Structure 1
């Protein structure tokens, strides 16, 4: 992998890798966890979904394996229970696209050099066996309601890799590519008041880029303060009943549950 691309060969994949492939004219990418034996576990829009109320609901239809043929793939597991977490073979996951591997523990300089979000993070990945366990557990138990901005395929993969969730009044936080989608227009809006300081088009463009990069950096899961490490078994139980609460950034309250089995 290089500075401009995270492209990798299939032969280099290891169980626990976070992989992705661009869809819909590079507007959006679909993410998943490679668990070995040509299998990818990923979060799709097949389950219960919360819409954005915007045109993105029509554009971002790429989460899920392609259905180009009427004959089902013999190696893929059909969705069960309508929760959206599915198992697909690598070819169906890629849907004819190119294979990329998401990078973890990148330096600040490399993170900022990757102008497009959804390709890397400053956060540290957990050991691969833990990553595979989380993905497999969520395959059987679900990952909540799909939402483009708050709970999407990249959020799923990042959680599997790190165990970290952005907790905000019971909802899961934004992914890197979601920040990129809204970050460009937001940067332009935030930099507009600076026209009173300079009317130079190049200065305004540089300011907008700076605001965009700063917003991406601050929103990265590896930099945010409003995150918590949540065990996967606890996540599915508490998320289903809405028992995750926030009292201040970085602090969550998990109401008492049944005593642990001994």
Structure 2
């Protein structure tokens, strides 16, 4: 596990892995998903933001500025072209030209705090691959099964974390929140200060411990519980109707 990211080769992938790919050079935003298939084009199930009308017409994937180029992914996304949600695509379309990284689970507190960038690991242990894949596939088959996409509270990292752990933040039935996007502003502010020739150590320390406080498996956290995927789908559909 590196200090910044957990880059791997495709040969290292196994079904049930939580994978991600950085979408900019600052490593402040990544797209996350669950790797499903180790044959053919390698299926990935992931949670996407709403697409614009122009993206729908061009066949573009939700979290990317690029368009889906392979025929199989265009066919996969056709039935879900009018709303955001859980979709399936091949590994190449998921990566969108970026590098492949694997999210780390059950890391120590020391390793967690040592990470210079969030959205790469968690203290929480992963459930067995069969449970991870069951959750991902069940949410894929359920329209609006993971609720509405929200940049900071219900995003692609939230989806992958839930598939891997089954953990849900109980307050208002929210999902296990990611912290990489929410802490992006702190990281970028620290980077600006560093470029200006001022120390960034205090900002890095606050950033790391802020992530630790927000981690879904932090000791003493009482607002997190394990929720079966069938119950989560029912909750999200009920919220949609209300």
Same fold at TM > 0.5: yes
1:171 paired residue number? 174
Which residue does the alignment assign to 1:221? 216
Distance 1:241 1:146 in 2: 16
Is 1:231 paired with 2:234?
Answer: no
**SS of alignment partner, residue 21 of structure 2:** strand
- Count matched residues: 215
Q: Confirm whether residue 146 of structure 1 aligns to residue 144 of structure 2.
A: no
The structure with the largest strand share of the pair is 1
1:53-92 equivalent positions in 2, closer than 5 A: 63-64=63-64, 66-67=66-67, 69=69, 72-75=70-73, 77-78=76-77, 80-81=79-80, 82-92=83-93
1:42 aligns with 2:40: no
CA deviation after TM superposition for structure 1 residue 27, in Å:
3.1
**Offset of residue 207 of structure 1:** 3.3
Residue aligning to 2:113: 112
List aligned pairs for 1:5-24, cutoff 5 A. Answer: 5-24=5-24
- What TM-score, normalized by structure 2, do the two folds share? 0.79
| In structure 2, distance between residues paired with 1:185 and 1:21 | 19
Q: Does the CA-based 8 Å contact 2:47-2:85 persist in structure 1?
A: yes
Distance 1:104 1:165 in 2: 16
CA contact (8 A) 1:6 1:102 kept: yes
Q: CA deviation at 1:64?
A: 4.7
Runs (5+) with no aligned partner, structure 2: 53-60, 191-197
Q: What CA deviation, in whole Å up to 9, does each residue of 1:160-201 have, x standing for no partner?
A: 0000012322333530312321444799xxxxxxxxxxxxx6
Between structure 1 and structure 2, the one with the greater Rg is 1
How much does 1:79 deviate? Answer: 5.2
C-alpha separation in 2, matches of 1:65 and 1:138? 24
CA distance in 1, matches of 2:164, 2:48: 17
What whole-Å deviation, never above 9, does each CA across 1:30-49 have from its counterpart, x for those lacking one?
Answer: 0000011310000001379x
Q: Which moved more, 1:128-137 or 1:108-117?
A: 108-117
**1:233/1:111 CA distance change after superposition, 3 Å:** same
Q: Is the 8 A contact 2:114 2:208 kept in 1?
A: no
> Over aligned residue pairs, what C-alpha RMSD do you find?
2.7
SS in 2 for 1:41: strand
Q: Corresponding residue for 2:126?
A: 125
* Shift, 1:97, TM fit: 0.4
CA 1:21–1:33: 2 relative to 1, 3 Å = same
Q: Is the 8 A contact 2:147 2:237 kept in 1?
A: yes
